[in-house]
Amino acid sequence: MAPPAIDRSTNASVGRGPNFPGSGTAVVGLQWGDEGKGKVIDLLAGSFRAVVRYNGGANAGHSVVIDGKRHALHLIPSGAFHQGVMAVIGNGVVLDPDMLFVELDRLADAGIRSLDLAVSDRAHVVLPWHKAEDAAREIALAAITDGSGSGGSIGTTRRGIGPAYADKAHRAEAIRVGDLLRPASLRTKIAHVSARKEAMLRALDPSGAAAASLPAAAKMTDDLIRSGERLRPFVTDTMYLLHHMLNQGHNLLFEGANATLLDVDHGTFPFVTSSNCSVLGISTGTGVPGERLSRVIGVMKAYCTRVGGGPFPTEQDNDAGNRIRERGREYGTTTGRPRRCGWLDLVALRYAVMLNGVTGIALMLLDVLSGFEEVKVCKAYRLQGKTTDRFLPDAEALAEVEPIFETLEGWEAEISGCRSRDALPAAARAYVDFIEQAAGVPVDIVSVGPDREQTIRG
């Protein structure tokens, strides 16, 4: 029997439906982001009722390539290209309405006009002062050097993510999506808060440029009220909506943004983002408890990359790294910055598999390694003369480690036409087996190119 349809109204009964218990599948990045989560979500989304973002904001850049055409998504879940799949933005997301509208318009241009979108009334809103503060802090930090010539900035995407989450924790100055639907109180609140934000920006940037970049409070309020009106049809209590769907027997796909090693609690602090991007963020970021998850798919590259500052033990600032960057088109989807490239770090991988309770791996961009005579993997770290297989989720500690590499045989042939594991060159097959062994979980998906078709399952 088909489960009943979804009632999105805010007073709908959540239902119990013990005969139709749906379950959740999570897709999370296991490294420092850009592992190819967008492609994996797009591949899987058709079998789910909804794809749900639970963390981050427009700092994410998820590329989906369909029939050779590339689509970049920042806030809208990557399942948007499938008919009948609801796109849900959960309460844990920090939402920049202008960025969302740009994306909706782009999707409409690409032929997706009737996106079934639901936005949490409890998602926090990224405001102009958050973006101004993000940039001003980065500029101020860059001026503080550690003596080695490198700046002290985090290298954020400047999308206002940190300041928006900080306001969530501060509480009084935060604006949530639900507030955009209450114009009178919004106007009063913006008027009060804007004076304090302007003063804060003047202190951060004495030139006055950051403060001067803010729109006047009245204009900002008018813009936000307009945004609220455009958002209104999508806004609901997504926590009830998701439980309703689960209780009706529907399965949900949770889309991680950013990645495990950028998790604010478990990543390479302070060079992290400001949310729990690992699977652990799903509960707080959607209101769906972890026990409803039946599968956790960890997405990893066949090597490592990182954008922004922070330690990266296996980084190859040399020909090998440059070659990976060019073959893998390793330039940011959100900022266009060249990504730092290096060999696979198994210490970090095992940590991420453990932390997320990964049940299966999607191994991406294997095609990028074709043509290397040999491929290296880091099996352990050396720290103060001792060998350790523990990851160190602290930037200062991790910067001290030296990677211990093992060298594996490379392969010459291009593999983007391979559609089964057996069709891969022996050394590529051995590389996949090696990763499976080291991670202790099966590799369910091997990706050999950006397109949907360039995928090996099972």
Q: Which residues are catalytic?
A: 34, 62
Judged by beta carbon, residue 163 or residue 256, the one nearer ligand GDP is 256
- Nearest residue relative to ligand IMO (C-beta): 308
Judged by beta carbon, residue 178 or residue 332, the one nearer ligand GDP is 332
Judged by CB under 5 A, the stretch of 187-195, 225-233, 315-323, 332-340 that binds Mg ion is 332-340
User: Max alpha carbon distance in the chain (Å)?
Assistant: 68
DSSP conformational letter for 35: S
Distances (CA, A) of 14 to 4, 85, 86, 105, 255: 12, 19, 17, 32, 23
CB atoms < 10 A from the CB of 284, how many? Answer: 15
Q: Least Å distance between CB 259 and ligand GDP? A: 7
CB 249 within 8 A of CB 20: yes
Task: Give the residues lining the site for ligand IMO (CB under 6 A).
Answer: 29, 32-34, 59-62, 154-157, 159, 161-162, 257-259, 262, 273-274, 307-308, 333
CB 127 within 8 A of CB 164: yes
Choose, by CB under 6 A, the member of 63, 156, 238, 286 that binds ligand GDP.
63
Asked whether the CA dihedral 335, 112, 49, 6 is positive or negative, the reply is positive
Query: Is residue 65 a contact point for ligand GDP (CB under 6 A)?
Result: yes
Q: Least Å distance between CB 392 and ligand GDP? A: 24
Strands (E), 215-266: 235-236, 252-255
330: left (phi over 0), alpha (psi -120 to 50) or beta: beta
Q: Which of 347, 363, 345, 344 is CA-nearest to residue 429?
A: 363
Distance CA 444, CA 87 (A): 25
Q: Which amino acid is present at 63?
A: S
Q: Which of 439, 299, 313 is CA-nearest to residue 365?
A: 299
Residue the block writes with tokens 């009722």:
49
Could you give the dihedral angle defined by the CA atoms of residues 365, 369, 370 and 375, in that order, rounded to the nearest 10 degrees? -150
Q: Least Å distance between CB 167 and ligand IMO? A: 14
Q: Least Å distance between CB 159 and ligand GDP? A: 14
122 contact, one of ligand IMO, Mg ion, ligand GDP, none, CB 5-8 Å limit per kind: none
CB 456 within 8 A of CB 418: yes
Q: Least Å distance between CB 147 and ligand IMO? A: 21
Query: Is residue 368 a contact point for ligand GDP (CB under 6 A)?
Result: yes
Query: Is residue 248 a contact point for Mg ion (CB under 5 A)?
Result: no
Distance CA 341, CA 161 (A): 24
Choose, by CB under 6 A, the member of 8, 37, 74, 243 that binds ligand GDP.
37
Distance CA 306, CA 185 (A): 42
Total interface residues for ligand GDP by CB under 6 A: 23
Query: Is residue 117 a contact point for ligand GDP (CB under 6 A)?
Result: no
Judged by beta carbon, residue 409 or residue 451, the one nearer ligand GDP is 451
Q: Least Å distance between CB 141 and ligand IMO? A: 12
Query: Is residue 36 a contact point for ligand GDP (CB under 6 A)?
Result: yes
Binding mask 322-341 for ligand GDP (x = CB under 6 A): ------xx---x--------
DSSP conformational letter for 318: S
Choose, by CB under 6 A, the member of 22, 24, 29, 155 that binds ligand GDP.
29
Distance CA 109, CA 372 (A): 40
Query: Is residue 34 a contact point for Mg ion (CB under 5 A)?
Result: yes
Q: Least Å distance between CB 156 and ligand IMO? A: 4
Judged by beta carbon, residue 198 or residue 263, the one nearer ligand IMO is 263
Binding residues (CB under 6 A) for ligand GDP: these are: 29, 33-39, 61-63, 65, 328-329, 333, 364-365, 367-368, 447-450
Binding residues (CB under 5 A) for Mg ion: these are: 34, 61, 333
